[in-house]
Amino acid sequence: MGFYVNPGNSSFTRIAGPRYVDKTGLISLINERIGKENSLVCFSRPRRFGKTYAVKMLAAYYDCSCDSHALFDDKTIAQAKDYEKHLNQYNVICLDITGFTSDIKKRHGSFLEVPGMIEKAIWKDLVEAGYTPDKDDTLNDFILRCTDVKGGKPFIFIIDEWDAVIREAREDADAQTAYLNLLRGWFKNENFTPKAVAAAYMTGILPIKKDGSQSAISDFKEYTIIKPRTFGPYVGFTEEEVDRLCKKHHVDFETMKQWYDGYHFPNVGSVYNPNSVMATIENDDFDSYWAESSAAEPLMEYISKDYNGLTKTIAELVGGIAVKVNTTGFANDLTTFRGKDDVLTLLIHLGYLAYDADQKTVRIPNEEIRQEFQKTIREVKHEATLKRLQESEKLFMDTIQGHEEAVAAQIEKVHAEETAPMHYNKEDSLRSVIKLAYYSYRDHYIQIEELSAGEGFADIAYIPKADSDWPILLIELKWQESAESTIHQMLSRKYTYGLENDGRPVLLVGITYDKDAGAGKKKHRCKILEYGK
């Protein structure tokens, strides 16, 4: 067994214990591609979503230098018809590219060295495995020679963090080109690929770097967090898997869902962050494990970019609003941005945003990521962002202290600034105005839209977090009514039903305006009433 060539199954043995969530169905997706035109797979998803676990699993299954029956006989893959056909039947080249980039950073070398380091490491392992090269062999020649010897087996390439060079050498185009040329030599080479490569599985955060408008290694079939297709169940934990874990470990499922759900794929449903789910079970504590694990590139760097409309879009996202995004044209790197859509697309790949393929929208997926956004926006140096934050915080205080004129004035300001004239009176737009105005709510509140209460639905409810002593806020924004009549509706339809026993005050906030144009006609008015007083 080598370090990079046929590394054995010891790494998977260490993780395939009682808490292992069986994801061996992924092996079947690779098996059905072996030796076929679609045998090259790049499956990208955010950090801490199980990429390295999958790499260790695949290496243990395919590696011909070991016997992995004991690891897989009780797993899902053992039920597949081709289970025995492919089990431990291939030479495996398994690479973690971050190991090479980390070495470069440690000794302050050049990322141009990475391709040569990788080739040298594979060559060394092949020699130690007993293979003999000719004196004029290139690495590809040597690998082909290994498949031609008596009993020789084709290779399965398994590459973890394939995009490490693209991310680490983000400003070094020469290093990126050299690295992509190494991959092209393996996977886009008619004299090598069909003869030596039975299959390839690459995983990373980013899709394959584009060369112009096309993938730089165009023969790969790509599956991403935007379009995972048949690989959707293996992006993270499915809802069924999380439900079983919660029952087994006596963890509240609804709270787990609130904290770590939010990613959703067709024919799969909800998908959860595996690292955070398992950390919660281990620590018996719901928290933002995302930040502790350095799960993605710093959020600050991206939401601070000075692109037209980005500041408003971030405010909408933080306020709980789903926004439209165009994900086409993204260059699949960390430096090439044409505008805010490319920034949002990168945040999807990093896991900071969840993408709705049907609606073509993005949103902040869950409480864990909301906390990261909330923390980051306080550090953003954009004057407009800081102003929004300050105005929102003041609006909360004005609401709680009953400053009705100040509340009405701020809602009117947000309504005018953030709503196009043709959407000014639409119900969805009115709800968005509230969410934008109160967008700093996550410090103290949980936001609920259309809260079922009594005989109706409150437009927006802000329910204080368990550790907050702030009052409950029920807010309605309407037109062509008086603020007083809005409060009367909330009372008559018993919007406070079930909230009176919370122990904290319940504030009813009615905000209205006249929809017709003209001097003073769109002036907003506010009435605030503490229920029971």
Q: What is the pLDDT of residues 260-317, one digit of tens each?
A: 999 999 999 999 999 999 999 999 999 888 766 554 457 888 888 888 888 889 888 9
Query: Is the confidence at residue 159, as pLDDT, over 50?
Result: yes
Q: What is the pLDDT at residue 297? A: 55
Whether 192 and 267 map to the same domain: the answer is no
Whether 305 and 285 map to the same domain: the answer is no
Q: How far apart are CA 449 and CA 162, in angstroms?
A: 41
Q: How far apart are CA 318 and CA 380, in angstroms?
A: 14
Q: How far apart are CA 312 and CA 162, in angstroms?
A: 34
Whether 256 and 305 map to the same domain: the answer is no
Query: Is the confidence at residue 471, as pLDDT, over 50?
Result: yes
Whether 356 and 488 map to the same domain: the answer is no
Domain that holds residue 212: 10-223
Which of 42-51, 138-147, 184-193, 449-458 is least confident? 449-458
pLDDT one-digit tens code per residue, 377-391: 877 767 777 888 889
Prediction pTM value? 0.86
Task: Please tell me which residue, 394 or 311, carries the higher pLDDT value.
Answer: 394
Whether 387 and 372 map to the same domain: the answer is no
Rounded to an integer, the average pLDDT of 338-364 is 95
Instruction: Give the CATH number of the domain where residue 335 resides.
Output: 1.10.10
- Contact between residue 157 and residue 200 where contact means Cβ atoms under 8 Å apart: yes
| Dihedral sign for Cα atoms in the order 432, 438, 442, 448 | negative
| CA neighbor of 338 nearest in space, from 296, 299, 310, 315 | 310
Task: Please tell me which residue, 427 or 509, carries the higher pLDDT value.
Answer: 509
Q: How far apart are CA 358 and CA 319, in angstroms?
A: 22
**The last residue of a domain, from among 377, 410, 435:** 377
- Contact between residue 511 and residue 415 where contact means Cβ atoms under 8 Å apart: no
Overall residue count recorded for the chain in this entry: 533
Whether 389 and 353 map to the same domain: the answer is no
| CA neighbor of 286 nearest in space, from 502, 466, 51 | 466
**271: helix, strand or coil:** strand
Q: What percent of the chain has pLDDT over 90?
A: 66
Q: How far apart are CA 109 and CA 100, in angstroms?
A: 11
Q: What is the pLDDT at residue 288? A: 87
Phi-psi region of 393 (alpha: psi -120 to 50; beta: other; left: phi over 0): alpha
Rounded to an integer, the average pLDDT of 460-483 is 88
Domain count, the chain: 4
Q: What is the pLDDT at residue 454? A: 62
Query: Is the confidence at residue 194, as pLDDT, over 60?
Result: yes
- Contact between residue 418 and residue 349 where contact means Cβ atoms under 8 Å apart: no
Whether 165 and 23 map to the same domain: the answer is yes
Q: What is the pLDDT at residue 296? A: 44
Residue 232 lies in a domain: no
For residue 197, the surrounding DSSP H or E stretch is strand 197-204
Q: How far apart are CA 510 and CA 423, in angstroms?
A: 21
| CA neighbor of 92 nearest in space, from 153, 50, 23, 140 | 153
Q: How far apart are CA 326 and CA 312, in angstroms?
A: 16
**What integer best gives the mean pLDDT of the chain?**
90
Maximum Cα–Cα distance across the chain? 92
Q: What is the pLDDT at residue 50? A: 92
Kindly state the tokens that stand for 41: 């797979």
pLDDT one-digit tens code per residue, 56-106: 999 999 999 999 999 999 999 999 999 999 999 999 999 999 999 999 999
Q: What is the pLDDT at residue 293? A: 54
Q: What is the pLDDT at residue 1? A: 67
Query: Is the confidence at residue 424, as pLDDT, over 90?
Result: no
Q: How far apart are CA 358 and CA 344, in angstroms?
A: 17
Q: How far apart are CA 228 and CA 211, in angstroms?
A: 22
Residue 5 lies in a domain: no
Task: Please tell me which residue, 216 or 327, carries the higher pLDDT value.
Answer: 327
Confidence of residue 204 (pLDDT cuts 50, 70, 90): very high
Which of 199-208, 289-298, 341-350, 451-460 is least confident? 289-298
